[in-house]
Chains A and B, each alone.
Chain A
Amino acid sequence: MPGRRSLLPPLAVLALLGLAALLFSVTLGSASLMPGDVWAVIRGEGSPLARTLILELRIPRALAAFATGGLLAVAGALMQVLLRNPLADPYVLGLSGGASVGALAAMLAGLGGVVITGSAFAGAFASTLLVFGLAHGTGSWTPARLLLTGVVVAAGWGAVITLMLAISPAERLPGMLYWLMGDLSYARTPWAALGLLGVVCLALLPLGRSLNVLARGPLQAAALGVNARPLEWTIYLAASGLTAMAVTTAGSIGFVGLVVPHMLRLVLGNDQRLILPACALAGGTLLVLADTLARTMIAPEQLPVGVITALLGVPTFLFLLYRSR
């Protein structure tokens, strides 16, 4: 296992890439601004229009994209460790389904803005409690039991979502579908999501070694003196909290949480002390790039960001997987 020294260079590279992606995102948009205009705004000058575009629209949105991507990638990495299943993603236990039902119910009732966000968070929280309670059950639980409970609850939410889409009036459908596809135009302020991402990454740092042991299985973990049960519940709650925040920020954006951790493992190896912060940076970078393209590819028209994340991520992942044989 690499020492603390070898953790820093890859993280520094990823942080630089993230910064570059954020700059790229701030200079591009449907309104054309020269790099000089952007620089003027950063120095505190520039025209009022350029200031509004950059300070009120592009920077908050780029930061929200970064935070959402980071939250999803970290949550995905945690779920994969917890369930010891490479197909696990932040949504595998039904969390996005619960959030979607909450958000769509608010839209169906004709409510907007903050109510949708709050309702989505309530749905995510309800789903977490439901899966937690049911998987806990009476007897012993295993990752397989938790996974099965989550997948079935997710299927149930899926049916409710289809029902809601079927009965909602036609003019409400575009909003609902964009929400389900994941869309950063719903993001209001990035600070809560960024803050949570930072706090959880710092809180997970001391757990890195235990997570590495847990990734090898609960028996090895017990043999090596790690108490698996409380650690597993901690991971579950942390991953749920991260996903709930991501989903309420930007709807259910797929793919990032599944593939970014795998990509990083292929390149950096499976050391959780490195993978978790790297996921925060790489997931954020991927989503910032994807959202920039979604905003600009057919500007002034906008695409849902989930489409672009998959289009960017699939070839990258397949290339890494092919090369790693």
Chain B
Amino acid sequence: MTNHRNTAIGYGFTALGFALASLALSQPALAEVCAIDDRDREVCLPAPASRIAALSPGATELVYAAGAGEKVVAVVAYSDYPPEARDVPSVGSHTRMDLETLVSLRPDLVIGWTTGNPPEQLETIEALGMPVFYIEPREFEDVSGAIERLARLAATREEGERAAEEFRTGMAELAERYADAEPVSVFYQVWDEPLMTINDEHLIGKVLTLCGGVNVFGELSRLVPRIGDEAVLDADPEAILAGGMGEENRDWLTHWQRYTELTAVRRDNLYFVPPSLIQRPTPRLLEGSRLFCEKLDDARGRR
């Protein structure tokens, strides 16, 4: 239940509430838990969540990191990490959820993705009486913050705070180590056809900056701009980092090898980073960031 209590009916029940509260005093009180979500709404549950539905692969990872993995009863397609999440019932893709399946799994907390899930469906879920906690991590701190808040709602504070702190200090260490590193100009390739990159606002762009990289397309206004080969040749980055379709797909990098006038090609600074480590705002971003920073250090060593 969210705290939208100031309805006419709510006032009507206040008197009854007092009567019930005096009754409840004689029994162990159910502990109400509250947390602020990424839409700045306070989400309160009458008791810690015991059945959680995570409506994006990233949300699933965050809930597991918060120590509440055993309480996850519903996920969406492509929720593949941690491996246990694959065995949890799926309620469809994050863009089109099967609400009947979701309702029949009786979640007492739904983790929604503000810009990824259809807002109409999230509103319907809330109208059906299932509280929705919206997440939308845009900064490194949003990742650790989300883990802590989810841990509060699931009453797994100890484990959640440990995971959040590990991520927070890990990222801070990287920031400190690379604060004065020599800048390396970088092109990060999200996709090959169409050729797409990211700007400085994107979480991956922030990882590049953290490692002392300078994103050659950082100034573009769109979060995930679509560009052409010519723009990359013109920018002449010192290193090219590519995500790729699978975990082992290096084909995207061989595409660049024919342009021998690129500095990145001449120095062999073509790197592959498994996309699952970097493309979701989850604790695994720390591992991805370490890998990013190592690659850029490698590029510095080849000057």
- Across-interface contacts of B196 in A (CB, < 8 A): 174
Q: A112–B251 Cα gap in the complex (Å)?
A: 10
A199 at the interface (CB under 8 A from B): no
Q: Nearest chain A CB to B265's CB is how many angstroms away?
A: 11
Contact status of A183 and B231, CB under 8 A, knowing A174-B226, A300-B225: no
B192 at the interface (CB under 8 A from A): yes
Contact status of A52 and B195, CB under 8 A, knowing A30-B228, A57-B230, A170-B95: no
Contact of A52 among B95, B96, B225, B261 (CB under 8 A): B261
- Across-interface contacts of B251 in A (CB, < 8 A): 112
Q: Mark A281-323, 1 if CB is under 8 A from B, else 0.
A: 0000000000000010001111000000000000000000000
Q: Decide if A185 touches B193 in the complex (CB within 8 Å).
A: yes
Q: Mark B76-104, 1 if CB is under 8 A from A, else 0.
A: 01100000000000000111100000000
A230 at the interface (CB under 8 A from B): no
Q: Decide if B259 touches A52 in the complex (CB within 8 Å).
A: yes
Q: Nearest chain B CB to A181's CB is how many angstroms away?
A: 10
Contact status of A175 and B233, CB under 8 A, knowing A295-B228, A300-B217, A300-B228: no
B178 at the interface (CB under 8 A from A): no
- Across-interface contacts of B235 in A (CB, < 8 A): 300
Contact status of A169 and B78, CB under 8 A, knowing A174-B226, A300-B227, A301-B227: yes
Most chain A CB within 10 A, of B94, B226, B251, is at B226
- How many residues on B have C-beta within 8 angstroms of the other chain's C-beta atoms? 33
Most chain B CB within 10 A, of A48, A169, A171, is at A171
Contact status of A30 and B95, CB under 8 A, knowing A110-B246, A112-B251, A169-B78: no
Q: Decide if B233 touches A52 in the complex (CB within 8 Å).
A: yes
Contact status of A300 and B231, CB under 8 A, knowing A48-B261, A52-B261, A174-B226: yes
Q: Decide if B228 touches A112 in the complex (CB within 8 Å).
A: no
Q: Decide if B192 touches A49 in the complex (CB within 8 Å).
A: no
- Across-interface contacts of B259 in A (CB, < 8 A): 52, 56
Q: Mark A42-56, 1 if CB is under 8 A from B, else 0.
A: 000000110011001
Q: Decide if A31 touches B193 in the complex (CB within 8 Å).
A: no
A132 at the interface (CB under 8 A from B): no
- Across-interface contacts of B245 in A (CB, < 8 A): 110, 112
Q: A302–B228 Cα gap in the complex (Å)?
A: 7
B267 at the interface (CB under 8 A from A): no
Q: Nearest chain A CB to B225's CB is how many angstroms away?
A: 5
- Across-interface contacts of B78 in A (CB, < 8 A): 169
Q: Decide if A301 touches B226 in the complex (CB within 8 Å).
A: yes
Give B249's nearest chain A residue, CB to CB.
A110
Q: Mark B119-141, 1 if CB is under 8 A from A, else 0.
A: 00000000000000000000000
Most chain A CB within 10 A, of B78, B196, B234, B258, is at B234
A29 at the interface (CB under 8 A from B): yes
Give A32's nearest chain B residue, CB to CB.
B234
Contact of A175 among B194, B258, B260 (CB under 8 A): B194
Q: A174–B190 Cα gap in the complex (Å)?
A: 11
The 3 nearest A-B residue pairs measured at CB: A300-B231, A31-B234, A48-B261
Binding site for A on B (CB under 8 A): 77-78, 93-96, 191-196, 217, 220, 222, 225-231, 233-236, 245-246, 251, 258-261
